[in-house]
């Protein structure tokens, strides 16, 4: 059994392909064909009926001529020798249509029976011509009028089929048909007394299923313009791909939630008779398409499908006073059924106190009116809240046969939506556990479909990065992403995409992902606009719509806490190497962290202290496990550590600082390091991790070098050279005393509330054996003396400065978020 849609017979090229396909398969065994109207003919017929109703007979007849011209052109292209005869055949078939339109124009009325008669001409012309063209191409075929085979009631426009009488007629007709291929028009049928009816949406597919059942076919192949049933709507999800194999149950679930190529009426005869359904592309007949049968795929990793039904409305009903006699759900559904309002989903609370109903948006006001009438007494007694209508909304459904065999499917479904800020307005799951549906706002349709599709169908977790800064750290992060992207995707299942890049003056953004090769140069080509943080907010709105959105701050800029807050409120995670937002006054810092917590997003800042060393995580684990931190001693500046070692080796101060800056160990302005402010911020961050409500002004700070903040960086180096001799002498004194010059932070929680500084930062001479004495190069260390680690303090030590090291720590924080969401 084969069925061809309107696009498959809408042009000479496609019609030729149809004739060849039928000819090929007819030689392999018995075959029946159902065909739809050519191209847009059905829409044109609706236009003609409307014009005639308006009294525009000339316009209506012009549409009829357009239909005739399409049919004649297609026929002439395939059978030029019979063009005249076929054209006359078309005119003869459409002559009753012209008479009908004339009558409608006179009465200015097009009743439902008349409308069905008008619409029938598209299929009648298409099936008649296809039978003629097949015969002309040496595949004997005969037109068989579906109106003599399919029996329906008189619900014109959406007639219901009398299955028993239809099956009897088909089986009887089969006995009289010879070897010629029967070609039947889809979509149309007739009442027992012979009046033409139509079967409504997907009527031609339904015709094919009924004919296949009546004739005892083993398979129905629906030929269309796509490669099969996709995992999602390709117009919404670019990653969607054809599904090779589905069960009848999955097909029925997809049909029930509005999958475009399926309808429950089509599936039911196939399920009852065990007939397979295959969906294939007319223009790519070698592609196997999608097979739907009783078995389905045996692949345990088979894909899940995401179906979206748009242009809906959500009606919410809430009961103030429950009663055993109320039966809210039953009454609501019965009233809507009586009013012939389609209900796509219902969701009722466990106690029956609230009910959500999803209906087509054009029917929303009618449905509301029906329910107001039905619940009039309860509304007047204020036992029911006034009905709420939310529109437009979309019904999003996950369908997978194996859904009931796994755990946390619903958790993954709703977590994926929540991670990108999509609000779920209502939800429902069937008893079969084969599908899970929810209602989302229409504006969230695309992002919801893309996000859930990625969560259930992709082998990798997609992560969307918006990187701020392309200097020492940002540039190294981009380089590491370029080097690691393929490995992370293939070996660890994480697909990192940089979708945005910004510096202090420019920004690039592409939701599909920026090509990293040469991205810095492309950013340079953007016209500078000196944006403040607030100008990036519109890009955050775009970022929040992407899978696992993360704002990555690789700058040392101040004032970005406002941008962080905007990101948190949009459900965007933040990974930062920037210490300044964490060194804000205590109340502001707590508000920032609390905003992330309240919006259930991550704020990771491991690299703000000691670069990529796991200092903050180690401290957090000590506190979480109930240990008491008594003292923290730390060398928190890899740059100052490097400078101290250079001084010890006899290098002048100005040259040591310049070398540290050239190697990327210092901040862009080395005075940040030399003043001790950078170390003070890091120490403050650690103290606050202990819950100490301190500010920068509470730090007892002695600079490593007194700095002039007003001078430029270049002039500062000139001044610094004048201090070379003094620092050489200072190092000599330390050597004479058997010590080594270091710049340390000391955090003593026991000093809290005593009036003495809890945090001290400054240069000191340390003796041999001290953890800081043998630090090499830009190494940092942090020593935790705790109740459990009292005799032998817990020490974290390693490279504490440098763009590459810090960038690796930033990347580790990004992967930490990615792997948490991925579940491993």
Helix then strand then coil, % of the chain, to nearest 5: 45, 20, 35
- Residue 427 burial (CB count, 10 A): 17
Of 536, 460, 554, 547, the closest CA to residue 813 belongs to 554
Contact 496, 465 (CB under 8 A): yes
CA distances from 687 to 461, 614, 634 (A): 35, 16, 12
Which DSSP letter does residue 759 get? E
The string over 110-128, giving b where at least 16 C-beta atoms fall within 10 Å of a residue's C-beta and e elsewhere, is beeebbbbbbbbbbbbbbb
C-alpha span between 117 and 570 (Å, rounded): 54
Six-digit token string for 354: 């609230």
Q: Which DSSP string do the residues of 347-362 spell out, in sequence order?
A: EE-TTSSEEEEEEEGG
The residue assigned the tokens 């180690």 is: 618
Which DSSP letter does residue 511 get? T
Six-digit token string for 734: 């330390």
Find the radius of gyration of the CA atoms of the chain: 37
Tell me how long the chain is: 824
C-alpha span between 109 and 154 (Å, rounded): 19
C-alpha span between 60 and 98 (Å, rounded): 8
Q: Which DSSP string do the residues of 70-132 spell out, in sequence order?
A: HHHHHHHHH-GGGHHHHHHHHHHHHHHHHHHHHHHHHHT---HHHHHHHHHHHHHHHHHHHHH
SS3 663: coil
List, edge to edge, every strand of the sheet that includes 388-399: 345-348, 354-360, 305-318, 388-399, 435-441, 424-429
Contact 47, 65 (CB under 8 A): no
Six-digit token string for 301: 């990793």
- Residue 735 burial (CB count, 10 A): 13
Of 263, 250, 271, 125, the closest CA to residue 207 belongs to 263
As beta bridge partners, residue 437 has 397, 428
Contacts of 687 (CB under 8 A, 6+ apart): 632, 694, 747, 749, 758, 759
Contact 444, 307 (CB under 8 A): no
Positive or negative: CA dihedral 226, 232, 238, 244:
negative
Of 540, 530, 586, the closest CA to residue 565 belongs to 540
- Residue 724 burial (CB count, 10 A): 16
CA distances from 291 to 17, 36, 161, 288, 296 (A): 21, 21, 26, 8, 8
- Residue 99 burial (CB count, 10 A): 10
Contact 811, 477 (CB under 8 A): yes
Q: Which DSSP string do the residues of 701-723 spell out, in sequence order?
A: E--SS---TTS-HHHHHHHHGGG
Q: Which residues carry out catalysis? A: 682
- Integer distance in angstroms from the first to the last C-alpha of the chain? 48
């Amino acid at each position: 059994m084969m069925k061809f849609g309107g696009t498959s017979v809408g042009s000479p090229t496609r019609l030729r392909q149809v004739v060849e396909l039928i000819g090929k398969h007819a030689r392999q065994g018995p075959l029946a064909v159902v065909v739809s109207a050519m191209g847009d003919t059905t829409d044109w017929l609706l236009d003609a009926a409307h014009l005639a109703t308006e009294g525009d007979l000339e316009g209506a007849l012009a549409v009829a001529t357009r239909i005739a011209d399409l049919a004649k052109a297609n026929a002439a292209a395939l059978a030029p020798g019979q063009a005249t005869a076929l054209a006359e055949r078309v005119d003869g078939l459409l002559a009753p249509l012209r008479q009908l339109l004339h009558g409608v124009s006179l009465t200015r009325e097009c009743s439902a029976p008349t409308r069905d008669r008008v619409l029938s001409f598209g299929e009648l012309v298409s099936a008649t011509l296809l039978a003629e063209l097949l015969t002309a191409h040496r595949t004997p075929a005969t037109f068989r009028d579906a109106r003599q085979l399919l029996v329906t009631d008189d619900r014109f426009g959406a007639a219901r089929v009398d299955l028993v009488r239809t099956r009897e007629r088909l089986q009887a007709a089969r006995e009289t048909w010879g070897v010629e291929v029967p070609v039947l028009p889809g979509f149309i049928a007739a009442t027992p007394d012979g009046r033409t009816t139509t079967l409504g949406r997907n009527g031609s597919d339904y015709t094919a299923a009924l004919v296949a059942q009546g004739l005892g076919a083993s398979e129905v192949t629906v030929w269309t313009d796509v490669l099969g049933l996709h995992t999602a709507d390709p117009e919404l999800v670019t990653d969607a791909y054809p599904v090779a194999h589905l069960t009848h149950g999955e097909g029925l679930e997809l049909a029930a939630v509005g999958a475009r190529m399926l309808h429950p009426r089509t599936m039911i005869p196939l399920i009852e008779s065990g007939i397979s359904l295959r969906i294939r592309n007319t223009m790519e007949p070698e592609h196997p398409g999608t097979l739907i049968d009783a078995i389905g795929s045996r692949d345990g990793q088979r894909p899940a499908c995401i179906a979206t039904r748009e242009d809906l409305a959500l009606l919410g009903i809430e009961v103030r006073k429950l009663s055993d006699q109320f039966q809210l759900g039953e009454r609501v559904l019965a009233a809507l059924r009586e009013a012939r309002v389609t209900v796509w989903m219902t969701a009722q609370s466990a106690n029956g106190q609230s009910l959500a109903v999803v209906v087509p948006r054009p029917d929303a006001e009618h449905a509301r009116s029906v329910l107001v009438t039905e619940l009039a007494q309860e509304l007047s007694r204020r036992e029911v809240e006034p009905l709420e209508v939310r529109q437009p909304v979309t019904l999003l459904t996950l369908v997978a046969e194996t859904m009931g065999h796994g755990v946390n499917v619903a958790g993954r479904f709703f977590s994926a939506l929540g991670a990108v800020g999509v609000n779920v307005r209502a939800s429902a799951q069937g008893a079969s556990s084969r599908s899970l549906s929810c209602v989302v706002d229409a504006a969230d349709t695309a992002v919801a479909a893309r996000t859930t599709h990625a969560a259930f169908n992709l082998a990798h977790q997609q992560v969307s990065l918006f990187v701020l800064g392309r200097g020492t750290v940002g540039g190294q992060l981009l380089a590491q992403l370029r080097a690691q992207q393929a490995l992370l995707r293939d070996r660890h299942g994480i697909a990192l995409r940089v979708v945005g890049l910004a510096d202090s003056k420019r920004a690039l953004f592409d939701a599909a992902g920026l090509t990293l090769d040469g991205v810095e140069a492309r950013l340079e080509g953007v016209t500078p606009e000196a944006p403040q943080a607030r100008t990036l907010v519109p890009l955050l709105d775009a970022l929040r719509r992407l899978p696992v959105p993360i704002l990555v701050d690789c700058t040392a800029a101040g004032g970005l806490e406002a941008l962080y807050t905007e990101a948190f409120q949009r459900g965007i995670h933040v990974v930062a190497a920037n210490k300044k937002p964490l060194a804000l006054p205590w109340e502001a810092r707590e508000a920032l962290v609390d905003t992330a917590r309240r919006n259930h997003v991550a704020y990771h800042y491991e690299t703000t202290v000691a670069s990529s060393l796991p200092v903050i995580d180690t401290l957090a684990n000590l506190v979480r496990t109930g240990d008491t931190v008594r003292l923290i001693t730390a060398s928190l500046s890899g740059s100052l550590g490097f400078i101290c070692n250079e001084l010890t080796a006899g290098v002048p101060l100005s040259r040591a600082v310049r070398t540290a800056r050239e190697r990327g160990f210092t901040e862009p302005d080395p005075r940040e390091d030399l003043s001790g402010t950078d170390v003070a911020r890091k120490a403050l961050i650690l103290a606050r991790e202990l819950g100490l409500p301190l500010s920068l002004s509470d730090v007892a700070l002695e600079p490593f070098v007194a700095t002039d903040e007003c001078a430029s960086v270049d002039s500062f180096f000139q001044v610094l050279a004048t201090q070379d001799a003094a620092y050489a002498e200072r190092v000599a004194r330390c050597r004479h005393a058997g010590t080594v010059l270091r710049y340390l932070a000391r955090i003593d929680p026991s000093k809290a509330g005593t009036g003495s500084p809890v945090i001290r930062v400054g240069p000191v001479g340390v003796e041999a054996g001290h953890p800081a004495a043998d630090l090499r190069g830009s190494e940092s260390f942090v020593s935790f003396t705790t109740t459990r680690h009292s005799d032998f303090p817990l020490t974290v030590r390693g490279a504490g400065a440098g763009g590459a090291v810090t960038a690796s720590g930033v990347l580790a924080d990004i992967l930490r978020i990615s792997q948490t969401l991925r579940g491993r």
